[in-house]
Structure 1
Amino acid sequence: MDSSKVGFVVSKTVGNSVVRHRVSRRLRHVVRAQLESLPPGTLVVVRALAPAAEASSSELAADFSSALRKVLR
């Protein structure tokens, strides 16, 4: 069975390297909790926009869940 894979794109528009890495870590944490709900072999790319730097983890989780529901319909 193929495992699902997730990649992250966090560009310089999000902030400096410290901010980008913080956003990446928070996104990884959010996505890790929902990996089991993805069909096997799913490939996902998550692109962080500039507002992600100021968003709370719960806001990131809500946005990701919403986007995932739309894609999996």
Structure 2
Amino acid sequence: MLPKRSRLHTAHEFRAVTRQGRRAGSATLVAHLLVDPDGGPRRAGFVVSRAVGNSVVRNRVRRRLRHLVREHLSVLPDSGMLVVRALPASAAATSVQLEADLLKAIGRVTS
């Protein structure tokens, strides 16, 4: 679980990151990154739509992604806001594949 201060909370934050941030995709997910000009801690949020699967599958994917992002949150720039959008292929992906795709996407948006 991500600590409360490390989570995106409002729709305004999600919208700002997805519209103004840098984007990089992979087979299982899309990562959006925006560095907050006002500063603040590194934060992350997740978007898992119904296209991924039913509620059980969506929640499982969200938990797996949250666990992976928690481990790699320090890779983000200071005051970076990350939104990870799961694609339907993420439901059948292994944790190793999800982690590889996440790191690849984060590497692209931070460079």
Separation of aligned partners in 2, 1:53 and 1:65: 18
Structure number with higher strand proportion: 2
The partner residue of 1:29 within 42, 67, 70 is: 67
For 1:47, the equivalent position in structure 2 comes to 85
TM-score (ref. length: structure 2): 0.64
For 1:13, the equivalent position in structure 2 comes to 51
Unpaired stretches in structure 1, ≥5 consecutive residues: none
Separation of aligned partners in 1, 2:76 and 2:46: 16
Task: Give the 3-state SS of the residue equivalent to 2:78 in structure 1.
Answer: coil
Is residue 71 of structure 1 aligned with residue 71 of structure 2? no
Task: Give the 3-state SS of the residue equivalent to 1:25 in structure 2.
Answer: helix
Unpaired stretches in structure 2, ≥5 consecutive residues: 1-38
After TM superposition, give the deviation of residue 20 of structure 1 in Å: 0.2
Q: Which 4+ stretches in 1 moved above 2 angstroms?
A: none
TM-score (ref. length: structure 1): 0.95
* CA root-mean-square deviation: 0.9
Identity score, percent: 51
**Structure possessing the higher relative contact order (Cα contacts under 8 Å, 6 or more residues apart):** 1
Paired amino acid for 1:34: H
